[in-house]
Homo-oligomer: A and B are copies of this chain.
Amino acid sequence: MITYTPVKVRYGETDKMGIVYHANYLLYLEDGRTDFLEQAGFPYASIEERGYLCPAYSAELSWRAPLRYGDDAVVETRVIANGGTKTTYQQRVFRAGDDPAVDKPVAEGRVTACAVNRDTFKPVSIKRELPDLYERYNALIEPEA
């Protein structure tokens, strides 16, 4: 499954360069992952209700072209790896209207989240403790773009 999530640039997300501040792309990527999990039938809030958190573990990001206030963007999201504890997403940000098959993203990243126990923050096995989510991830894995 590959999801496409629209994002609207906020004024306060720009910086004095006149472009979206680099850290704010992590908010856009999270919008994409939130949407992905909803479309997968596992809204992130429901995972937390079951006693788990999925904090960010690692990320690789690159910024290739600026987004500006008034720009509309789309975040493309897919899961490319699903370990026992960690899940890796590849995500690409396009200008709205661009074609992901031919156009270059303005930014892209790989973000790995790690399931942990809500109270102890200790890593937990998704495979063992959230087997339905684990199977769902497996069924949705896509090759990297």
Contact = CB atoms under 8 A, between A and B. Distances in A.
Interface of A: 10-12, 14-19, 21-24, 26-27, 30-31, 34, 43-45, 53, 55-63, 66, 68-70, 121
A16 B10 CA distance: 11
Number of copies: 4
A61 B61 CA distance: 8
Contacts of A70: 43-45
Contact of A61 (B14, B43, B58): B58
B26 A11 contact: no
A45 B69 CA distance: 8
B15 A12 contact: yes
Contacts of A18: 16
13 contacts: A10-B27, A11-B30, A11-B34, A11-B44, A16-B16, A16-B68, A22-B59, A23-B26, A23-B30, A43-B70, A45-B70, A58-B60, A61-B61
